[in-house]
Amino acid sequence: MKLTRQRLEQLLEKFQGLKVTVVGDFYLDRYISGSMESISREAAVPVVRIQSDVYSPGAAGNTACNLSSMGAEVFAVSVLGDDLSADIMRKELGKRGVNTDNLISIATRHTPTFNKIYASSYHGRMQQVGRFDQENDSPIGSEAESRVIEVLDSLSSECAGIIAADYAEIPGTGVAAKPILQKVAALTRTKDLISTGDSRDRIGEFCDFSVLVPNDYEAAMAAGVYRPHESKHISEETVLVAGRELCEITRCQTLMITRAERGMTVFSRGGRPIDVPTTPCTGEVDATGAGDTVTAAIALSIAAGADVIEAAELANLAAGTTVKKLGTTGWPTPSEILSAFDCLG
């Protein structure tokens, strides 16, 4: 590992108060848990007695919470609905230290919300028994795009970096529309900002960013080299071809392809691809949200002055702490990251 403990401490100290904007799709995750005690008299469906009802910011919201947990000052920028979910989103982000002044509400939009219902029966294990999603089925529109661009212009004078997070489940309906991506790229050039891009399906459209952080599947799909039989484990050869192609397509300064337990492969302009192994992780793990942790940690590390290998190693340490937080989307703290480093021996 290139990182020393002293260097890790220096970087984590620089994280504190570093200002970062997150623009993209803020989803609200709702987890309803209870016990199934009977069948309804009105229909042949189970009755779940609610024992807990918990909300958590998801998608770009999870990225924002990761940044805040590591010590950054975070500004959330998105387009929400004018609804109860938007009120809850602001409250939940605020509880986690994220600035919500630039969340725009529009009456014709929904605040994307995933309602997940978990239940157990007769002392059995808890399992998901239902899910109800609320999303949008149309673009945010030119007026909303202009408002987001104005906000990004305003925040760019005080922020060290911008993360564009594209998580829309329905194509063409998300906040990271093309004009907004172009604005983020322009701010990279004119304001000397670190721009970081993360997208489930459109990473090939994130052009002229500082850093892109797709997983191996997303990179292979965007580069047009995906092979269906590789869906579980994308081969080394495919990752290398996808990385080279994606660097050409997007003109990014750095491409960091995450590969789950196999770590990352880092592509930089003019350099050879470098593999960065993941840190060992034993016992039971929950990988939910770990990709958001990686994106947040990379963005903060590079904004704090780390080189790309240091950033990858720090991100691996951060993700290693969150996957150990079972049953919840966890966020790493600087002390947890240091502890993870110390456990490497």
Q: Which of 203, 196, 189, 190 is nearest to 64 (CA)?
A: 196
First-to-last alpha carbon distance for the chain, in angstroms, is: 11
The per-residue pLDDT for 198 is: 96
Domains and CATH numbers, the chain: 5-26+59-108+137-342 (3.40.1190.20)
d(CA 33, CA 50): 6
What would the pLDDT profile of 225-276 be if each residue is shown by its tens digit? Answer: 987 777 677 899 999 999 999 999 999 999 999 998 888 999 998 789 999 9
CA–CA–CA angle 186, 187, 188 (5° rounding): 90
Active site residue 292: yes
Closest CA to 313 of 299, 298, 323, 300: 298
pLDDT of residue 127: 87
DSSP-derived letter for residue 126 is -
Query: What is the pLDDT at residue 272?
Result: 92
Report the SS3 class of residue 53: strand
Q: What is the pTM of this model?
A: 0.92
What CA–CA distance (Å, rounded) separates 154 from 162? 12
Q: Which of 25, 29, 166, 292 is catalytic?
A: 292
Question: Which residue(s) pair with 77 in the sheet?
Answer: 23, 102
**pLDDT at position 330, please?**
75
Intervals of the chain under pLDDT 70: 231, 280-289, 323-329, 345
From residue 331, alpha-carbon distances to 226, 289, 342 in Å are 31, 9, 19
